[in-house]
Amino acid sequence: MIDFTYEADFELVNTKQHVEWIQNALLEEGFEEGDINYIFCDDEYLHKLNVEFLKHDTLTDIISFDYTMGKLISGDIFISVERVFDNAKDLGIEFSEEINRVMIHGILHYCGYKDKQEDDVKLMRSKEEYYISKIAK
């Protein structure tokens, strides 16, 4: 089950569309849907998690806690709407495109994709772009 919780002044416009998009991405990657929780929050909320759980005293756009077992994808994905908004502005793209990128980024990590090495980053970006192209505008 894919669930959305809002701890910030934000809500997805079409949750059904996002659920189907994520489900299709999981199927295409060869995984099954478990319990996936998206928690949309502000910078302060996510910063506290970053310090408490990861010992990083920085702002970030996403933190995910992966509970995947085998091919069953489960986890909690925390997204700072403020960071996503600022990043979209800095990149000169629509907020909707950046929120979708961050949402699928968390899922791709659960599917085993990494983003620490240059080649891994290229593959991750390619996968993000591919799945962003799959969601209706």
Asked whether residue 105 is marked as a ligand-binding residue, the answer is yes
Tokens, residue 107: 């899922």
Length of the chain: 137
3-state secondary structure of 75: strand
Asked whether residue 115 is marked as a ligand-binding residue, the answer is yes
Query: Quick one: 73 exposed, middle or buried, by C-beta within 10 A (0-12, 13-18, 19+)?
Result: buried
Tokens, residue 53: 């759980």
Count CA atoms closer than 13 A to 45's CA, side-chain side. Answer: 18
3-state secondary structure of 5: strand
Tokens, residue 92: 């000169």
Binding-site residues: 105, 109, 115
Binding-site residues for Zn(2+): 105, 109, 115
